[in-house]
Each structure stands twice: as structure tokens, then as C-alpha cells.
Amino acid sequence: MGRIKAKPEFCMGCHLCEVWCAVAHSKSKHIIKAFLYEQDKPLPRLVVEENLPLTFALQCRHCAEPDCVAACISGALWKDPESGLVIHDPEQCVGCYSCVLTCPYGSIFINPGKREIVKCDLCTGLDTMYCVSHCPNEALVYEDS
């Protein structure tokens, strides 16, 4: 399967990937409505690593042998054999944070209000990968492997 890769030399640290990731995973998918009016504030599922002047975005690598899946006590995380995605089912998740402890990339994010986690789903069901398509300087690319 493919994965999203960052180009640190192109990244300007604008954090728009985080903003648009949150929008992509909001109810309305509308940047204003999502942040102003939605009850569950949308959360990004990637992080801009920052140690200025260095910046680059990092999200779930959808590992071949995912540690988060091995650690999940509830069966809420699994690796889909067909798509290669590491998928999270929020209904099944109890928020034990074993995945937070084991993800080597720190790419499982805690929703502090709700004892649950969020992670990258490569924008499954959407027409584009929002972090890639909204990066103003093409510092994120999707590479098919």
C-alpha cells in the first residue's frame, strides 16, 4: 500500500495540514462550521513536528506489523489485509491508550475530552487526502508503493 510522506525541506510549518485534517474528519467538512459550531471539536490526526527552522508533518504509517494493533485490548484496531490500512473503530475502543504507549511514531492521538483516540485513515471515503491536497507548498505527497 502507499503512504503519505513529508518533505521537510518544503514544509513551511503553516500547520494547514492539521487544520484540514480536522476539517476532513468533522461532521460538516466545512472549515468555518467545523471549528465554530460543531459540538465535538474536530481534531487533527497528524502532527507538525517542530524544532525551528525544522518542521515536517507526521501521521500514521499504516505499519506492516503495527504495534498498536498488537497492543489493542479491545479489537478496536486492526490491519485491513486488502487496503493495508490500520483501521480504528471508535465504537469498540475503550480508551485504554495501549496504542499510545506502543505507536513508535507517536501518531495515535488522544481526544482528551472523551477518553478515546483518533488516528489517520488516509481520508477513507473522501475524495482527496486533505493534508496532501491542501498543503500550499506540496510538502506532503502520497506515494504508492
Q: How far is the CB of 23 from other proteins (least distance, A)?
A: 21
HEC readout, 129-144: CHHHHCCCCCCEEEEC
How far is the C-alpha of 89 from the C-alpha of 40, rounded, in Å? Answer: 17
**The one segment of 19-27, 37-45, 87-95, 126-134 that binds other proteins by CB under 8 A:** 87-95
Does 21 interact with other proteins (rule: CB under 8 A)?
no
> Binders of other proteins among 47-66, rule CB under 8 A?
47, 49-51, 54-56, 58, 61
Contact 108, 117 (CB under 8 A): yes
Residue 31 or 78: which CB sits closer to other proteins?
78
Does 100 interact with other proteins (rule: CB under 8 A)?
yes
If DSSP codes are grouped into helix, strand and coil, which group holds residue 32?
helix
Does 35 interact with other proteins (rule: CB under 8 A)?
no
CA proximity to 21, closest of 42, 2, 5? 42
Does 90 interact with other proteins (rule: CB under 8 A)?
no
